Amino acid sequence: MKFWPRRSAPPASGFRPSGFLPGRTGAAALAGAGPASRWPAGRDRSGWSESTFAEIAWDRSRRAARRYGMAGAVVGAVLAAVLFAPAAWLAAAVASATQGHLLLSDARGTVWNGTAIPVLTGGLGSRDASALPGRLSWSLRWGAGAPELVLRQACCLNGPVALRVAPGFGRVQVTLVPPTGWVGQWPSAWLGGLGTPWNTLQLGGNVRLVSPGFALEWVQGRWRMNGRADVEFNGVSSRLSTLDTLGSYRLSLVADPSGAGPQVTLSTVEGALQLSGSGNWGTGGLRFRGEARSGLTNDAALNNLLNIIGRRDGARSVITIG
């Protein structure tokens, strides 16, 4: 074996890396060489660069995929919450809007398609409550260019009853699509759940809603009515009177053109107890003035009732609300 002496000339092959420093051998010689001297002639570092850029691109795409995945999961969760929102959410909204006077008890299904038992109560903290027989069902569908809420209840609604909902900027309008004839009919005893004075009167007969069409619009935090609705009290009786039937009555709500609130009118269709009065339903609630009189020669059968439903003033009883 032949050894080259230290500091001697390089082999005869003439290979001398660029930047070679004489007097240095091995790693020291290569350390002193320029960057280009570490790769054979005709080659560069493009392979290393491409590998590094590929790793950077892969890392960026992986982070982007993670972000998109998280965004997709959030959007999916929101859509699922909207599409499958439980009916209990609608029940809570109805209870809040009516201050606890109307409850959707035992709500099942979703906000868009569900059932519940309608219950009238005296409000928050009241022990009075009255439920309707059978369940009320609702479903949301698209009809006539706007979403419609369709209500069904075998005991009390005249077939499917559609409410057309038209949301807007800062407002929402709910329009009744009136069926042929009456809209709904409920037992008068159901009103006893509202508490005083209904629980004292314990009415018999039925309450019927009739309308050629009306709409309720929520604007600037208050309701505004358009159209007309009549509430008919048919074959009314009360435990406070010995008469089998007191009479039949009509409570009419007619929209005020000025937008001040619907005008309210009470009239007697027929019966021994004569009721009349008028008022309006504005932002401060119902303001009503009316009176009750006996249509009999001897009003002994109605005397107790007249003392309870209003302030007695001779032969009449004055009714004041609001």
Summarised one tens digit per residue, pLDDT across range 191-219 is 999 998 899 999 999 999 999 988 988 87
pTM of the model: 0.73
Which tops the pLDDT comparison, 78 or 136? 136
pLDDT over 80 at 143, yes or no: no
Which tops the pLDDT comparison, 67 or 163? 163
Point out the least confidently predicted range of 29-38, 172-181, 230-239, 291-300.
Answer: 29-38
Distance CA 312, CA 285 (A): 24
Query: What value does the mean pLDDT take over residues 238-261?
Result: 89
pLDDT digits 0-9 by tens, 90-135 = 999 999 988 899 999 999 999 999 999 999 999 988 889 999 989 9
Which tops the pLDDT comparison, 55 or 262? 262
The pLDDT, as a whole number, for residue 27 is 44
From residue 315, alpha-carbon distances to 241, 244, 297, 302 in Å are 16, 21, 11, 11
The pLDDT, as a whole number, for residue 260 is 73
Point out the least confidently predicted range of 41-55, 77-91, 253-267.
Answer: 41-55
Residue 232 belongs to what H/E stretch?
strand 222-238
Cis peptide bond upstream of 178, omega within 30: no
Beta-carbon count within 10 A of 186 CB = 18
Which tops the pLDDT comparison, 177 or 54? 177
Confidence of residue 170 (pLDDT cuts 50, 70, 90): confident
pLDDT digits 0-9 by tens, 124-133 = 888 899 999 8
- Please provide the average confidence, as pLDDT, over all residues in the chain: 81
From residue 222, alpha-carbon distances to 225, 264, 272 in Å are 10, 18, 38
